[in-house]
Amino acid sequence: MAGLVEGKVAVVTGAGGGIGREHALALAREGARVVVNDLGTDRHGGGRGAEMADKVVEEIRAAGGEAVASYDTVSTREGADGIVWTALSRFGRLDVLVNNAGILRDRTLLNMSEEDFDRVVDVHLRGTFLCTQAAARAMRLQGEGGRIVNTTSFSGLIGNFGQGNYAAAKAGIYGLTRVCALELQKLGITVNAVAPVALTRMTSDLAMMKGATEDSLGPQLIAPAVVFLASELAAAITGQVIGVEGGKIFVYRMERTEGVLRDPASGTWTPREIAEAWERIGR
């Protein structure tokens, strides 16, 4: 039986370990040829090396799949173009992009440096923008549609203490996903996102991971949702955010209340009137 993405070419950024590695392995098992992109940095974005990406490529090849490593950064135009060019030059096309690369530099608002804020936003949000743009341009030229899967987060959608930089980036990715889904739909390119909660080297010391195990909350539990979104099974799905927490899968939705309408003929709301109507406004 052919795999769900048989014959497709997929790029996975930040695929040298954790969630990204599982994405790359799962896509390869389902027949994709994979570009394994990773800088080889630590979780704070420090250091650099080829070992992480190379190791995942070796795993895929040992299992009978096809893969190539990419060591470009997602946070520059040259890096994003280089990642896409790796797919085009080695495999002749690009069908799937999974934006997964990320770092953490957790600090509370009052203690966060501008560099810590900018660096996290550069990798997560700017990286997602640049890679999505580069991939979408290649997919448009191919004229056969494509699949883009971004990575947002509980922190960006709900909030999490000490992660203002990370949350701002991940909330931006949610908005970017929605806009790209609208703009690229006419090209047959779907754009969705996953919001994973998983035990990895990036999250192992977070309070919310206390008591978590590889079996109950390992990164391998996220990959099936990404393969689903990358496949024809999700051809009619775009602009959605799938949450995955262990064995639980759900959809995040932006919600607005019914609100309270004031007759324009009676004048504008006053702050006191808003306060008096607040319970009805929030229902």
Q: Which tens digits make up the pLDDT trace of 100-157? A: 999 999 999 999 999 999 999 999 999 999 999 999 999 999 999 999 999 999 999 9
Asked if 252 is an active-site residue, the reply is: no
Cβ-proximal residues to 246 (8 Å cutoff; 6+ apart), any chain: 197, 216, 217, 221
> For the whole model, what pTM was predicted?
0.92
- pLDDT tens for 20-36 read 999 999 999 999 999 99
How large is the average pLDDT for residues 167-172? Answer: 98
Extended strands (E) in the chain: 9-13, 33-37, 67-70, 96-98, 146-151, 189-197, 241-245, 248-252
- pLDDT tens for 65-114 read 999 999 999 999 999 999 999 999 999 999 999 999 999 999 999 999 99
Instruction: Please give the residue that has the higher pLDDT: either 203 or 166.
Output: 166
**Contact present, 194 and 222 (Cβ < 8 Å):** yes
- pLDDT tens for 220-239 read 999 999 999 999 999 999 99
Q: Can you give the pLDDT at residue 42?
A: 66
φ and ψ of 186, to 5 deg: -65, -20
Q: How far is CA 262 from the centre of its chain?
A: 40
Domain boundaries, the chain: 9-255
Which entry of 71, 166, 174, 252 is annotated as an active-site residue? 166
CATH of 9-255, one of 3.40.50.720, 3.40.50.150, 3.30.70.20, 3.40.50.300: 3.40.50.720
**163: closest CA among 121, 123, 204?**
121
Q: How many angstroms separate the first and last alpha carbons of the chain? A: 51
- What percentage of the chain carries pLDDT values higher than 90? 85
